[in-house]
């Protein structure tokens, strides 16, 4: 099991946002966590990534992550693409952002990995000298993904990648994210757009008011009216 989470509680100071979370993600599997704004999706991913205080069990490839900060968890094989693509530096070029992502790799591997990322996202090669802040929303999301993948993670956390993107852009983005299966990554996708998530995930769970409340297979998700109702109820 790539990611194992059990009895996880997380929040801010005395405010507990996520309660008694338990989930598992296998290598090569996409699991979607669906919920409305304020359901606790970003808090959950931040707790797993080590950027938000939490208690409970989190293991990655069998290694306990409790007590490790966000940087050490990244070194253990975890990468987070935060909501709003906040892992990008707008004034820096595409190449400079990627080079920052490559810092966790040995020097001898960086040039090859950069070329692999350009092969995976050809538009980034075309835009390599352009400031990240001047890219379109879809291009920025691809760059945010590439920066995370530069670390060669075994687990990828995606926080609302569909946010603010047009339907045609979402189709292309879903195809790009789907290609990550070839890398054998475990992917935990936090989303409000359940139809976007349905294009990607093998399984889904619903997060409501900080607690998990059921789920099912990706095939069931496209027409899962109870998911839509849960999202609307908290919107």
Q: Which two tokens stand for residue 166?
A: 């047009």
How many Å apart are CA 190 and CA 124, to the nearest integer? 24
83 lies in some domain: no
Residues 25 and 126 in one domain: no
Say whether both 70 and 94 belong to one domain: no
Specify whether 147 is located in the same domain as 157: no
| Residue that is written with structure tokens 């989930």 in the block | 23
User: Looking at the whole model, is its pTM more than 0.75?
Assistant: yes
Is 125 within a domain?
yes
196 lies in some domain: yes
In a shared domain, residues 137 and 163: no
Q: Do 54 and 108 fall within a single domain?
A: no
Asked if 157 and 71 sit in the same domain, the reply is yes
222 assigned to some structural domain: yes
Domain endpoint, select from 98, 119, 151? 151
Q: Report DSSP letters for 163-187, one per residue.
A: TT--HHHHHHHHHHHHGGGGGT-EE
Q: What is the pLDDT of residue 224?
A: 65
Whether 157 and 229 map to the same domain: the answer is: yes
Same domain, 58 and 162: yes
Question: Which CA distances in Å does 175 have to 47, 63, 72, 190?
Answer: 28, 31, 31, 17
**Are 188 and 223 in a shared domain?**
yes
- Strand order of the sheet with strand 15-25? 15-25, 3-12, 54-60, 63-64
Q: What is the pLDDT along the chain (235 residues), one digit of tens a residue?
A: 799 999 999 999 999 999 999 999 999 999 999 999 999 999 999 999 999 999 999 999 999 999 999 999 999 999 999 999 999 999 999 999 999 999 999 999 999 999 999 999 999 999 999 999 999 999 999 999 999 999 999 999 999 999 999 999 999 999 999 999 889 999 999 999 988 999 999 999 999 999 998 889 888 887 666 666 666 555 4
Range of the domain at 144: 89-151
Q: Are residues 116 and 51 in the same domain?
A: no
Check residue 105 and report its DSSP letter.
S
Asked if the structure places residue 165 within a domain, the reply is yes
């Amino acid at each position: 099991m790539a990611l194992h989470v059990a009895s996880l509680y997380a929040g801010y100071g005395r405010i507990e946002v996520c309660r008694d979370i338990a989930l598992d993600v296998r290598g090569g599997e996409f699991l979607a966590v669906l919920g409305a704004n304020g359901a606790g999706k970003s808090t959950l991913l931040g707790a797993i990534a080590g950027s938000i205080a939490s208690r409970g069990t989190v293991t990655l490839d069998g290694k306990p992550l409790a007590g490790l900060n966000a940087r050490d968890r990244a070194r253990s094989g975890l990468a987070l693409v935060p909501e709003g693509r906040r892992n990008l530096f707008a004034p820096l070029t595409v190449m400079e952002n990627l080079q920052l992502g490559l810092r966790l790799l040995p020097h001898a591997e960086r040039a090859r990995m950069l070329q692999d990322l350009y092969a995976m996202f050809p538009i980034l090669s075309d835009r390599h000298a352009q400031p990240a802040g001047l890219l379109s929303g879809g291009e920025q999301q691809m760059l945010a993904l590439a920066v995370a993948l530069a670390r060669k993670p075994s687990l990828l956390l995606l926080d609302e990648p569909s946010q603010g993107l047009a339907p045609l852009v979402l189709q292309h983005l879903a195809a790009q994210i789907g290609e990550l299966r070839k890398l054998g990554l475990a992917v935990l996708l936090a989303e409000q757009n359940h139809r976007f998530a349905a294009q990607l995930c093998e399984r889904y769970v619903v997060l409501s008011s900080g607690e998990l409340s059921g789920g099912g297979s990706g095939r069931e998700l496209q027409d899962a009216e109870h998911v839509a109702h849960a999202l609307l109820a908290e919107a």
